[in-house]
Chains A and B, each alone.
Chain A
Amino acid sequence: MKKTTAALTIASLLGSTVAAVAEQCTNETWNKIQERGTIVVGVKADTKPWGFRGENGDLIGMEADMAKEVADTLGVELELVGVQSSNRMQFLEGGRIDLMIATMSDRTDRREIVGVVGPNYYSSGTNIMAPKALGIDEWSDLEGKPVCGKQGAFYNQIIEDRYGAQIVAFTGNAEAKQALRDRKCIAWVYDDSVIAADLASGNFDDFEMPLTSEDDNPWGLAVPIAERNCVFGRFMSGMQYNWHQSGDLIALEEKWGIQATAYLQRENERFKDWLAE
């Protein structure tokens, strides 16, 4: 009962924001980007290979490449800013960044704060990285066992409630993975695509991703909420549509050594140009 009320409140809130926004488009950020000749994009700095620091400390990765394409299309310079899960939405809200492409799961509560536009450029589910030696093959195997995770991930509680795992949440992924290596927990729960990338890196040879991913959740890039239904938001929708259609995202995935996701294939099919043979 309580939940329904909450959902209704959120829905009505959401509805009213949309209505309010649709009325007036100031295109403030969009114009600012043109004036400055620079677009400031927030990407992750600690999530290899989506956004991380290269040899000289510059931000690189799949999402950094996407940001570069946005800047090139706009014909402006690109400035990348490292953001974290805990501050990415505030950075966008506060105007520190113009656009956020930072491995963010597209959730209802987040849409209230930032302007997420479709079609979602990526998707991932929740899975675990566990040692091959343990032979875990069911989510229920986690019951009562310590599972490492990251503070602030929305599925920590879900895994705890649904399967009775004991979540040990660290402040960063580096610590969580180190704790798994030190055998302080039986698994590390995180986004399946991130786990796949780690497994592919060759540094986790004794580990596997044994379960069926749950709670598949598309990722969303975001513009300031006021510009979701204005030029900037529409432009980013177009960018994402083109990325999917041209297969650029699949190419980027390959470039950065990420295991191919079914989601990108599906979207590529879905947006196929009907005139192309």
Chain B
Amino acid sequence: MLESFADFFQQFAQENPRWNFIFFYEEKQAGKIWTGLKYTVWLSIACVIFSVIIGVIGAWLQGSNQRIARAVVQGYIQLFRNTPPFVQLLFFYFALGAFTPTYSPDGWLEVPIISNVGWAIISLSFFAGAFNVEIFRAGIEAVPHSTQEASESLGMSRLQTYRYVVLPLALRVSLPALNNNLVNLVKTTTQAFAIAVPELLYQCVTIWNDYPSAQYPAMLLMFVVYIGMVGILVFGMSRWERALRIPGYGK
């Protein structure tokens, strides 16, 4: 069955020279696509998780009594929101990348503790995290002060109040905005191409550079995969939104 699948596309490529689905019948190219898919998914998941963590911590620090902590968070938000993520990536990788600690397997090659994939995750997480902080803050502000007072009167600490009362409520309020931001983040992972992260876009570009005849098929595949990924994400998120909706609110 699989053999005939490969044969079909090989045949197809011979009949249609511009539609060479090379990654369906040549193992090496298929491997590239798989690696690309793996990296794209991995990059997306890691960035989503880290950016949410950054958002939660940042929003907590913003409500802190310490002026310095608030100022630092504010500075971080402004910096990351108001500059193009594409240039941020270049900056992180080239400007900061030189200062990361490294280990060396052969005397020259200094394998940085943080690879380019690592930098992409950090850079993109911080970029999306900056938006998440604001989103969570808006959610936290929506939780009335009296609710927090009530939990304090039950003897909860600030952290406990945040963890058990404020955050769960705030999360539900911020979900729509959060989802939109996360979808945006997944789309932005393609820009890791600029620092040679071997994600799907990078692999597809490599394939059509090596085999110009595979250009249209690779583009088609790329488009379908991204639309599919974003579609699954949007669907999952809206399901989650519905499941977490606070009864009696919203439409």
Query: Is there any pair of Cβ atoms, one from A and one from B, under 8 angstroms apart in the complex?
Result: yes
* Chain A interfacial positions (CB closer than 8 Å to B): 5, 9, 109, 131, 133-134, 145-146, 151-152, 156-157, 168-171, 175, 178-179, 182-186
Task: Name B102's closest neighbour in chain A (CB-CB).
Answer: A183
| Interface size range of chain B in the complex | 20 to 34
Q: How far is the CA of A178 from the CA of B196 in the complex (A)?
A: 13
Chain A CB count within 10 A is highest, among B90, B109, B193, B195, for B109
Instruction: Judge if B98 is at the interface, Cβ distance under 8 Å.
Output: yes
Q: Is the CB of B109 within 8 A of A186?
A: yes
Which segment of B142-150, B177-185, B203-211 sits at the interface?
A: B203-211
Instruction: Judge if B72 is at the interface, Cβ distance under 8 Å.
Output: no
Q: How far is the CA of A134 from the CA of B106 in the complex (A)?
A: 8
Q: Is the CB of B206 within 8 A of A169?
A: yes
Q: How far is the CA of A9 from the CA of B17 in the complex (A)?
A: 11
> Given A170-B196, A171-B194, A182-B94, are A151 and B209 neighbors across the interface (CB < 8 Å)?
yes
> Given A109-B212, A151-B205, A178-B94, are A183 and B109 neighbors across the interface (CB < 8 Å)?
yes
Chain A CB count within 10 A is highest, among B98, B108, B109, B193, for B108
Q: How far is the CA of A151 from the CA of B212 in the complex (A)?
A: 13
Chain B CB count within 10 A is highest, among A133, A178, A182, for A182
A sample of 7 inter-chain contacts (CB < 8 A) reads: A109-B212, A134-B107, A134-B109, A152-B209, A156-B206, A169-B196, A169-B206
> Given A151-B205, A170-B196, A171-B194, are A131 and B108 neighbors across the interface (CB < 8 Å)?
yes
Residues of A within 8 A of B209 (CB): 151-152, 156
Q: How far is the CA of A197 from the CA of B107 in the complex (A)?
A: 26
Q: How far is the CA of A5 from the CA of B102 in the complex (A)?
A: 49
Q: A184 touches which one: B97, B107, B194, B205 (CB < 8 A)?
A: B97
The 8 A CB mask of B45-63 against A (1 = contact, 0 = none) is: 0000000000000000000
Q: How far is the CA of A145 from the CA of B116 in the complex (A)?
A: 15
Q: Is the CB of A168 within 8 A of B94?
A: no
Excluding A145-B109, A152-B209, 12 further A-B contacts by CB distance (< 8 Å) are A5-B14, A9-B17, A131-B108, A134-B107, A134-B108, A169-B202, A175-B94, A175-B196, A182-B94, A182-B98, A183-B102, A185-B109
Q: How far is the CA of A146 from the CA of B111 in the complex (A)?
A: 10
CB A60 to nearest CB in B, in angstroms, measures: 26
Q: How far is the CA of A168 from the CA of B107 in the complex (A)?
A: 20
Residues of B within 8 A of A156 (CB): 206, 209-210
Instruction: Judge if B110 is at the interface, Cβ distance under 8 Å.
Output: yes
Task: Name A161's closest neighbour in chain B (CB-CB).
Answer: B28
Residues of B within 8 A of A184 (CB): 97, 112, 116
Q: Is the CB of B109 within 8 A of A146?
A: yes
